[in-house]
C-alpha cells in the first residue's frame, strides 16, 4: 500500500546540493577545489560555523577567505597533489549548489589554522547541538561532510591486503596504494525503526533500550538490519527480540539519514508502522529498560508536549501533564514523526486494505 511520506521535517534531510553533477573520475577534478568555497571541519565531527546574533550558518571559506586567514598553504598543497597519487590533504566533493562546486576539507591537526579561524570569529561545532540552530539544508550538508570524513578516517588501510589506502575521485572512494583494483566505497548502515500498533488499533508500543541515556524518554523500537534480511523481516525480528511480541503487517513510511551514528557510522533510519499479532509482552530486560503499550489519547498529549521548543532533550525546561511520566524524542527525530503520524489518524489507513 502506498502512503504519502509524512516524515518531512526531520534533521539531516533536505540537502540542497546536487550530488550527481561532475566527472569525479577526472584526476584533475580535485583542482576545482582551488577556486571554490570549502567547508572546513575537524576530527571528523565538528564543522566550521559562523554565529551572528541568533543566526547560525555553515561557514564556506572562499579562496579569498583562505588567503585572509593565512591559509593559502592549503591551496598550495591541493594544487601540488591535483592529479597525483599524493593525498596529504584532500578536499572531498560534496556536490554543486547554484552552479558552484562545494568541497569539504579536513584541517584536523592543523592547530595554527584552527586558532586563526577561531580568532576570526568562527567556531568548530559538532552537529548534534546544532540540530535546532542550523537551517535544514546546512545541517544536511554538514551531516554529509561529517559522515564522509568519518568514513575516510576509519578506512586508512585496505581490508583486503592491509596496505595504506588513499582518497580518489575527489573523496568519493578510497583506493589501495598496492593494488588499484582494491577499492572501498562510503557505506551506510540501515536501521529499522518502528511504531507498533496494537491489535485493536488504540495503543502504540514504545520502549527505551538500556543504551538510551535519557531515562525520561520512551520511543519507537529500532535495530540494525542484518545482512541478507529484508526491512520487514528486521522489524519482525527486532520486535520479537526486544518486546517478545509477534508482528504481522509492516508498512514502510519513509526514511531519515543519520550521519552522526554510533561509532562514527552513517546510518539510514527506515521508518515503519507495523501491526501487532498479539497483546502480551515478554520484553528482554537485559536489553530494555522499559516497554509499554501507550493509549492513543496519552500519545496525543505527549506528542503535543514534545513538539515544543522547551523539550528537555534540547536543554529546555518543559513540563508534562501530571499524569504522564515520559517524553518522546523532539521533532528532529524520525521517531517523533512516526508517533505523531500514527496519533494523528483516527483509523489506521496503513492496514485498511491489507
Ligand atoms: Zn589492497
Residue extents of the structural domains in the chain = 27-184, 189-307+318-343
Distance 276 CA to ligand 1 centre (A): 47
Distance 164 CA to ligand 1 centre (A): 8
d(CA 246, CA 262): 27
Distance 209 CA to ligand 1 centre (A): 39
Distance 163 CA to ligand 1 centre (A): 5
Distance 332 CA to ligand 1 centre (A): 40
d(CA 342, CA 9): 16
In this predicted model, what pLDDT tens digit does every residue of 130-178 receive, in sequence order? 888 899 999 999 999 999 988 998 899 999 999 999 888 888 899 999 9
For residues 320 and 302, is the Cβ–Cβ distance under 8 A?
Answer: yes
d(CA 60, CA 38): 5
The pLDDT mean for the chain works out to: 87
For residues 259 and 189, is the Cβ–Cβ distance under 8 A?
Answer: no
d(CA 271, CA 273): 7
Distance 182 CA to ligand 1 centre (A): 5
In this predicted model, what pLDDT tens digit does every residue of 57-87 receive, in sequence order? 999 988 888 887 776 666 666 655 554 444 4
d(CA 327, CA 302): 6
Question: For the chain, what percent of residues have pLDDT higher than 70?
Answer: 89
Q: How confident is the model at residue 30 (pLDDT cuts 50, 70, 90)?
A: low
Distance 32 CA to ligand 1 centre (A): 28
Q: What is the pLDDT of residue 87?
A: 45
Distance 322 CA to ligand 1 centre (A): 60
Q: Do domains 27-184 and 189-307+318-343 have the same CATH topology?
A: yes
Query: According to CATH, what is the number of the domain 189-307+318-343?
Result: 3.90.79.10
Distance 181 CA to ligand 1 centre (A): 8
CATH assignment of 27-184, given 3.30.70.580, 3.90.79.20, 3.30.1490.20, 3.40.50.2300?
3.90.79.20
Checking if the pLDDT of 352 tops 80, the result is: no
Q: What is the pLDDT of residue 98?
A: 87
Amino acid at each position: 500500500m502506498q502512503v504519502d511520506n509524512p516524515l518531512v521535517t526531520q534533521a539531516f534531510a533536505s540537502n540542497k546540493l546536487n550530488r550527481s553533477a561532475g566527472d569525479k573520475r577526472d584526476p584533475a577534478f580535485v583542482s576545482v577545489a582551488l577556486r571554490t568555497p570549502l567547508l572546513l571541519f575537524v576530527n571528523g565531527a565538528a564543522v566550521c560555523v559562523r554565529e551572528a546574533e541568533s543566526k547560525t550558518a555553515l561557514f564556506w571559506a572562499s579562496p579569498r577567505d583562505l588567503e585572509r586567514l593565512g591559509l593559502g598553504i592549503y591551496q598550495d598543497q591541493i594544487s601540488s597533489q591535483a592529479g597525483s597519487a599524493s593525498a596529504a590533504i584532500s578536499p572531498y566533493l560534496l556536490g554543486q549548489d547554484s552552479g558552484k562546486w562545494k568541497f569539504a576539507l579536513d584541517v584536523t591537526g592543523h592547530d595554527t589554522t584552527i586558532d586563526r579561524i577561531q580568532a576570526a570569529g568562527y567556531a568548530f561545532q559538532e552537529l548534534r547541538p546544532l540540530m535546532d540552530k542550523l537551517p535544514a539544508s546546512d545541517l544536511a550538508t554538514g551531516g554529509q561532510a561529517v559522515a564522509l570524513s568519518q568514513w575516510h578516517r576509519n578506512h586508512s588501510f585496505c581490508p583486503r591486503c592491509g596496505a595504506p589506502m588513499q582518497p580518489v575521485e575527489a573523496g568519493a572512494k578510497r583506493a589501495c596504494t598496492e593494488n588499484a583494483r582494491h577499492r572501498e566505497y562510503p557505506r551506510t548502515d540501515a536501521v529499522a525503526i518502528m511504531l507498533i500498533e496494537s491489535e485493536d488499533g488504540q495503543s502504540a508500543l514504545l520502549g527505551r533500550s538500556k543504551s538510551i541515556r535519557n531515562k525520561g524518554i520512551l520511543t519507537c523500537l529500532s535495530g540494525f538490519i542484518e545482512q541478507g534480511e529484508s526491512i520487514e523481516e528486521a522489524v519482525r525480528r527486532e520486535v520479537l527480540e526486544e518486546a517478545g511480541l509477534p508482528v504481522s503487517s509492516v508498512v514502510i513510511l519513509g526514511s531519515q539519514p543519520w550521519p552522526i551514528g554510533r561509532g562514527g557510522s552513517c546510518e539510514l533510519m527506515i521508518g515503519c508502522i507495523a501491526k501487532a499479532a498479539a497483546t502480551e509482552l515478554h520484553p528482554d530486560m537485559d536489553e530494555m529498560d522499559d516497554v509499554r503499550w501507550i493509549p492513543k489519547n496519552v500519545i496525543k498529549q505527549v506528542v503535543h508536549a514534545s513538539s515544543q521548543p522547551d523539550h528537555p532533550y534540547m536543554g529546555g525546561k518543559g513540563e508534562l501533564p501530571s499524569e504522564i511520566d515520559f517524553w518522546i524524542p523532539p521533532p528532529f527525530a524520525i521517531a517523533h514523526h512516526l508517533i505523531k503520524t500514527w496519533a494523528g489518524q483516527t483509523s489506521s489507513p496503513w492496514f485498511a486494505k491489507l
